[in-house]
Structure 1
């Protein structure tokens, strides 16, 4: 597997991301599948949408171990 992608059918700029959605993707990406990056693809009605990124850090070393990216499609 090269990349983890998750498509959502809700505008994440209009309606907030549910905690369980982020948690599920974070568990997949930390498990070591792919390139340690997962992307959530979602639709939006915004004229100029912005990509966002959440870094997942190791609580002991404080180093980055994975990332979840939010991108519009």
Structure 2
């Protein structure tokens, strides 16, 4: 469930960034040209970003040792 949430957040942020940098007409044109590629790129970027940062880190040791969960 947490990976789905992370993916949803990344897709939402990517959508905001795309809208910010391009006009809506350019964005629509690109969506028509690259339907599958656009979605695949966002999914790949989101998945890679979710692997870089742990979803939850727990500090259980006295010397600030962190364990990825």
Which of 1 and 2 has higher RCO (CA within 8 Å, sep 6+)?
Answer: 1
Question: Where is the helix percentage greater, Structure 1 or Structure 2?
Answer: 2
Is TM (by shorter chain) over 0.5? no
Question: Where is the strand percentage greater, Structure 1 or Structure 2?
Answer: 1
Normalising by structure 2, what TM-score? Answer: 0.29
Query: Larger Cα Rg: Structure 1 or Structure 2?
Result: 2
